[in-house]
């Protein structure tokens, strides 16, 4: 190839890369899903009587070879961060949490009584809210109950999300004693001015103490959540936070962009629009954090996770068995996810279910001896096909669409109409397509959901980015 051709190719690639933030802006404006599931939770509908009886029948079926996962939602916090987008409420009186704890023990019993035979619980994940809103002894009792009633397997992962500023040494010791193997700390930012702007003040020393307490208690795996796009952040500020985070040697990090939706989350109105970066500046912040983490030797995982090269998530990514779920990315292969706690989402053979979001509705179900499931989505054959393609793309950055169509008993050309949209995106540098195999190149990693949206049956999203 002549030097001229090479120069022209390099120029075209540089042009394409320089346009990526613009594409990102367009994707952001369309509010594309992050595809932690497909279809996404907004497609869930209220469960009717027929749906309920079909669900009960599926649930009771014996699957002696199937391992379970469970997600436990603790919907309480001791403070309200202004950027929060979670289902939670602030409590200052432990009586409310104690009542929740009594009810959730009943829910564990209900699920255990209704599930058919299974191979035990291989992954248990506590999220919220802040699970450390529970008293240490209540955490131990809840893990014991789950372990006992859902048969926690030896070597199972027990992961807990934590608010590090408010986590006591007693709680860390309880987590260790209860068998917690992994803690995810919501660090977000170490910058004191940004912390003040989001109402989440937690000095570096406090986070370092939390990490030290957890490790001393035997919780050896530590994850951090970091954020960009928060008020007052700049590329330098997020890079400093990443550098500080690395001094505490986390095994994994997840890096999320702040979503400012004050019309949905009223408390976000405390964050002033003028303190927020525009879309192009958000891209620079994400890139600055990425550069620090990659330079330090962390491996990029999927859309927004990073891990040490020897971490199980990095091994799963390398081995092609990484999975996408509501907690982000996982190496957990379980197809059954049991939802515990208000608003929790579960997955069973037939599709997704979601527990009642309102705590009183959730509580009333248990008082009546009913499972608190309120919404569901029964997966069609088309949903399963598209879900497989989207999941592989979001995990591997590449997918053989023709092969997946054939594995679902279809002609390899079944999604050629969707592929035509992908080919159009390839002109923007978002993907490469050859023989129905798609690949998202490294510079477009942060835009993989734009490519994934081409396979979303919601046609409004398929054409989300103007080409
Ligand atoms: S600790 Fe987490 S869940 Fe609780 S208010 Fe803050 S961001 Fe939301």
Question: What's 22's domain CATH number?
Answer: 1.10.10.920
Residue 16 belongs to domain spanning: 12-39+381-462
pLDDT at 22: 74
Q: Is residue 373 part of a domain?
A: no
Q: What is residue 467's predicted lDDT score, i.e. its pLDDT? A: 38
Q: Is residue 349 part of a domain?
A: no
The stretches of 320-457 forming alpha helices (DSSP H) are: 359-367, 381-396, 401-407, 416-426, 448-452
> Would you say residue 369 lies in a domain?
no
Q: Are 309 and 299 in contact (CB under 8 A)?
A: yes
Shortest-distance Cα residue to atom 7 of ligand 1: 84
- Give the closest residue (by CA) to ligand 1 atom 5: 80
In this predicted structure, the answer to whether residue 93 has a pLDDT above a threshold of 60 is yes
Q: Measured in angstroms, how far is the CA atom of residue 88 from the centroid of ligand 1? A: 7
Between 23 and 412, residue with greater pLDDT: 412
- Residue 348 falls inside a structural domain: no
Which pLDDT band, with edges at 50, 70 and 90, does 466 fall under?
A: very low
Q: What is the CATH number of the domain that holds 201?
A: 3.80.30.20
In the predicted model, is pLDDT for residue 464 greater than 60?
no
User: Are residue 64 and residue 35 in the same domain, yes or no?
Assistant: no
Q: Do 245 and 187 have their domain in common?
A: yes
pLDDT of 363-419, one tens digit each? 999 999 999 999 999 999 999 999 999 999 999 999 999 999 999 999 999 999 999
Out of 290, 317, 340, a domain closes at 340
Do 326 and 225 share a domain, yes or no? yes
Identify whether residues 18 and 76 lie together within a single domain: no
For atom 6 of ligand 1, which residue has the closest CA?
81
Q: Are residues 134 and 77 in the same domain?
A: yes
Tokens found for residue 188: 């977000």
With respect to residue 56, please indicate whether it lies within any of the assigned structural domains. Answer: yes
Q: Which residue has the tokens 């001791």?
A: 78
Question: Is 278 within the bounds of a domain?
Answer: yes
Identify each DSSP E strand in 229-366 by its residue range.
252-257, 299-301, 305-307, 323-325, 328-330, 336-340, 345-348, 351-355
Domain count, the chain: 2
143-170 average pLDDT score = 97
Ligand 1 cavity residues, CB under 6 Å: 77, 80-81, 84, 86, 88, 128-130, 163, 186
Q: Are residues 35 and 85 in the same domain?
A: no
- Report the pLDDT averaged over residues 112-121: 96
Q: How many CA atoms lie within 13 A of 326 on its CB side?
A: 27
Same domain? 398 vs 316:
no
Task: Place 327 in a pLDDT band, splitting at 50, 70 and 90.
Answer: confident
Residues in the chain: 467
Q: Does the pLDDT at position 463 exceed 60?
A: no
CA of 224 to the centre of ligand 1 (A): 14
Instruction: Give the per-residue pLDDT at 459.
Output: 59
In contact, 123 and 69? CB cutoff 8 Å: yes
- Percent of residues, the chain, with pLDDT higher than 70: 94
Which protein residue's CA is at the shortest distance from atom 8 of ligand 1? 84
The answer to whether residue 407 is domain-embedded is yes
**For residue 254, how far is the Cα from the chain centroid?**
9
Residue 353 included in any domain: no
pTM, full prediction: 0.93
180 and 308 part of one domain: yes
Sequential DSSP letters for 165-203: GG--HHHHHHHHHHT--EEEEEEE---HHHHHHTT----
CA atoms of 212 and 251, how far apart (whole Å)? 14
| Mean pLDDT score, 24-47 | 86
Let me know whether 238 and 327 are in one domain: yes
Print the SS3 string covering 430-466.
Answer: CCEEECCEEECCHHHHHHHHHHHHHHCCCHHHHCCCC
Six-digit token string for 411: 């002609």
> Ligand 1 centroid vs 230 CA: distance in angstroms?
14
Q: Considering 310, 325, 340, which residue would you say is the last residue of a domain?
A: 340
The overall average pLDDT reported for the chain is 93
Residues 25 and 92 occupy one common structural domain:
no
**For residue 83, which atom of ligand 1 is closest to its CA?**
7
Q: Are residues 214 and 66 in the same domain?
A: yes
Same domain, 176 and 311: yes
Cα–Cα dist 139/101, whole Å: 9
Q: Which two tokens stand for residue 154?
A: 């030896």
* CA 90 to ligand 1 center in whole angstroms: 9
Q: How many CB atoms lie within 10 A of CB 238?
A: 30
End position of a domain, from candidates 309, 340, 371: 340
């Amino acid at each position: 190839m002549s030097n001229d051709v090479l120069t022209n190719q390099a120029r075209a690639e540089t042009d394409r890369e320089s346009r990526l933030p613009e594409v990102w802006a367009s994707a952001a404006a369309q509010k594309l899903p992050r595809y932690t599931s497909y279809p996404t939770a907004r497609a869930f509908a209220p469960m009717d009587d027929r749906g309920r009886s079909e669900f009960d029948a599926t649930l009771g079926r014996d699957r002696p070879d199937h391992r379970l996962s469970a997600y436990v939602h603790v919907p309480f916090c001791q403070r309200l961060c202004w950027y929060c987008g979670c289902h939670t409420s602030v409590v200052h009186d432990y009586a409310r949490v104690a009542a929740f704890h009594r009810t959730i023990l009943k829910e564990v019993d209900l699920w255990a009584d209704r599930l058919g035979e299974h191979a035990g619980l291989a992954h248990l994940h506590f999220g919220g809210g802040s699970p450390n809103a529970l008293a240490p002894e209540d955490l131990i009792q809840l893990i014991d109950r789950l372990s006992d009633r859902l048969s926690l397997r030896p070597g199972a992962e027990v992961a807990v999300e934590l608010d590090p500023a408010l986590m006591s040494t007693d709680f860390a010791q309880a987590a260790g004693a209860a068998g917690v193997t992994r803690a995810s700390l919501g660090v977000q930012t170490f910058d004191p001015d940004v912390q003040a702007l989001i109402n989440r003040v937690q000095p570096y020393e406090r986070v370092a103490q939390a990490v030290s307490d957890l490790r001393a208690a035997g919780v050896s795996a530590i994850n951090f959540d970091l954020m960009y796009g928060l008020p007052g952040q700049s590329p330098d500020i997020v890079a400093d936070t990443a550098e500080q985070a690395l001094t505490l040697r986390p095994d994994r990090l997840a890096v999320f962009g702040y979503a400012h939706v004050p019309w949905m989350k009223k408390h976000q109105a405390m964050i002033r629009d003028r303190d927020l970066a525009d879309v192009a500046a958000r891209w620079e912040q994400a890139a600055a954090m990425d550069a620090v983490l990659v330079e330090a030797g962390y491996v990029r995982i999927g859309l927004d996770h990073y891990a040490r090269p020897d971490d199980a998530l990095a091994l799963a990514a390398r081995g092609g068995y990484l999975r996408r779920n509501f907690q982000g990315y996982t190496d957990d292969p379980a197809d059954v996810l049991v939802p515990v706690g208000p608003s929790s989402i579960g997955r069973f053979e037939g599709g997704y279910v979601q527990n009642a979001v309102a705590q009183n509705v959730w509580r009333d179900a248990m008082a009546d001896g009913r499972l608190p499931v309120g919404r569901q989505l029964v997966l069609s054959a088309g949903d399963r096909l598209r879900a497989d393609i989207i999941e592989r793309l979001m995990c591997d950055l590449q997918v053989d669409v023709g092969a997946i169509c054939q594995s679902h008993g279809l002609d390899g050309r079944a999604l050629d109409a969707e592929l035509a949209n992908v080919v159009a995106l390839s002109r923007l540098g978002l993907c490469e397509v050859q023989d129905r195999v798609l690949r998202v190149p490294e510079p477009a990693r942060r835009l993989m959901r734009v490519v994934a949206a081409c396979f979303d049956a919601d046609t409004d999203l398929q054409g989300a980015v103007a080409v």
